[in-house]
Amino acid sequence: MESEHPYKGTLFDKIIIGQRLGDLLMESIGTGILFDEMIELLMEMTKGIADINFKKHYLTDNIFNKDLICFSNLREAPAIGAGIDAYLTKFN
C-alpha cells in the first residue's frame, strides 16, 4: 500500500460502482447477500480508522452510510477513464 498518494485523506461525496459489478450489487440490495456483505466489510474496514472527519463523513450512527454509494450504468466510463489516463501519462 502506498504511504503517499495524491488522494490520500480525500473524502469523496459519492462512491460510484459501475458496469456489471454495479448491476450485481444493485440487484442484491435487500437480499442479504453481496451488497449487505459489502457494507459489512466497509464497516469492518473503517473500525481501524481513527480520523474523526473520516468517520463523520462515511458513517452514520457507526454504520456505513449506504446513501454515499451510487450505481452507474454508463458503459462508456472505462473507455473514458482509459483515455484520460493515457493522455495524462503521455503529457505529464
pLDDT in tens, 40-81: 999 988 888 888 999 999 998 888 999 999 998 877 767 777
Rounded Cα distance between 18 and 5, Å, is: 23
Return the CA Rg of the chain: 16
Count helices and strands in the chain by DSSP H and E runs: 4, 4
- DSSP structure class, residue 68: G
Of residues 17 and 75, more confidence is placed in: 17
Q: Are 26 and 71 in contact (CB under 8 A)?
A: yes
